Chain A
């Protein structure tokens, strides 16, 4: 029996970098998932984000750290020679650039758990693609938040237990993302959300990153 391909989930950066709980670890071959604070079980993601920076982690290592941002926040992705298709793009691309990225989510357990993405593929895309991605991701996120409120499924209950998230905070995140897009397409009246999402910083300390996982494969 061939394993079914994992669906690429839609998760905003703000939520993604807070998704530190791993499930399904037993066995080398079984797929690994992270549970997000709104109860999505993620193995693969599809994201459209601005590539802000690319940086080779050591000279000639051919492992690149990418800093990516969607309207809600920043996340990191690592590309090495085991992701040849993504690597090809990364070498050519010049930041900043809007990209579509498909990849696996990893949690590195150092002093602190850090979430990153290991891209399978990265391709520059147009603004329209980003706009629709934000809307799609907003819809999916709102569905999940609803499932959390109604305690609809096991993953929602589990996420509630592990993260006990403030769902208003995630609603605000969605609101912020959508209004950022709306301002830009100008099809809609200005309708800025009044609540502002708290400023957040992605804390990052290089020493903490355990790259052995990345290098082994």
Chain B
């Protein structure tokens, strides 16, 4: 069966399931025109066809597509383009630099973690770190080779009174902090949304005052693997004794907010750390971090010398 026939059958079935009879040969003709002659990408052709049929039969999108996507676990997500419902906890919110994105971060259940994006256009509520939600009718997508879920207009987010456990795949690593990335040190976050401000500007809320926070975005390297980590104020305080208040003092004293980063760098860069955390998306989520203290028998190099 050729591709045109396949697409035609799919769309006919979709409408017939709703009890709507559509003209199959007309659809085939249009698909042929769009795809074979006009070389329109398939996904666009499908969208165009759907819109055409909705108009033609005077239907609203909701009538045809109101759907309850299957409730699955994150570990069962296999490919992009799956409409699904997830029960998951927001493990981490990231900074978003795009005004098109309302929120971005990681959600997890006991089977895995996945990046999520709430598009600004979706008009959905904001979620909070550490809380669990039912993410209804979300669609899987792939971005830069990684799977993610998108929350769009068709989706729903409901807070649930359940604490969804995160995957037990905790790892322990020992490695050196070999890079500290931009937007580390004493930073300012937007009061509205928590995004990191650049030059007092929030990507969404424009010029704002913001509040101070302390963090390090860095790279831990054990000679075989690299792990991107984010150390928050608690982590930094436990390692260096410097908290936001202390950091502000340093900045004031030196009349330079960058002095904080220099101080942290001189105390942390190149050192070995023992980190317990969960692998999720791009970052290793740090649960526990300390300076690594090798035990004396590590210096014996068993079976050698």
Contact = CB atoms under 8 A, between A and B. Distances in A.
A123 B294 contact: no
Contacts of B301: 135, 138-139, 142, 178
Given A123-B270, A124-B266, A138-B301, A100 B219 contact: no
How many chain A residues sit at the interface, stated as a range, is 35 or more
Contacts of A135: 294, 298-299, 301
B119 interface: no
Given A1-B144, A124-B266, A179 B178 contact: no
B145 interface: yes
Given A46-B223, A100-B176, A188-B300, 8 more contacts: A1-B145, A7-B221, A8-B226, A46-B270, A121-B179, A182-B299, A185-B296, A188-B299
A146 B305 CA distance: 14
Contacts of B178: 8, 46, 102, 121
A78 B161 CA distance: 58
Contacts of A187: 296, 299
A22 B219 CA distance: 26
Contacts of A7: 221, 223-226
Interface string A171-195: 1001100110110010110010100
Given A8-B178, A139-B301, A132 B221 contact: no
B257 to A, nearest CB: 16
11 contacts: A7-B221, A7-B223, A46-B178, A100-B271, A121-B270, A125-B269, A129-B272, A131-B294, A131-B299, A135-B294, A185-B296
B179 A120 contact: yes
A81 to B, nearest CB: 18
B265 interface: yes
A161 interface: no
Nearest to B272: A132
B223 A8 contact: yes
B87 to A, nearest CB: 31
Contacts of A157: none
Given A46-B221, A123-B269, A125-B271, A5 B226 contact: yes
A132 B292 contact: yes
Contacts of A100: 176, 269-271
A147 to B, nearest CB: 13
Interface in B247-295: 265-266, 269-272, 292, 294
Given A121-B269, A188-B299, A102 B179 contact: yes
A136 B175 CA distance: 10
Contact of A9 (B145, B223, B270): B223
Contact of B270 (A5, A129, A138): A129
Nearest to A136: B223
B274 to A, nearest CB: 11
A2 interface: yes
A99 B270 CA distance: 8
Given A7-B224, A125-B271, A179 B305 contact: yes
Contact of B305 (A121, A140, A193): A193
A59 B221 CA distance: 36
A106 interface: no
A10 interface: yes
Interface in B144-192: 144-145, 176, 178-179
B230 to A, nearest CB: 16
Interface in A23-54: 46, 48
A17 B142 CA distance: 43
B72 to A, nearest CB: 27
B304 interface: yes
Contact of A175 (B144, B272, B296, B305): B305
A142 B304 CA distance: 9
Contact of A123 (B225, B226, B265, B299): B265
B217 to A, nearest CB: 13
Contacts of A182: 299
Contacts of B300: 188
Contact of B271 (A101, A102, A129, A193): A129
A46 B176 CA distance: 9
A8 B270 CA distance: 12
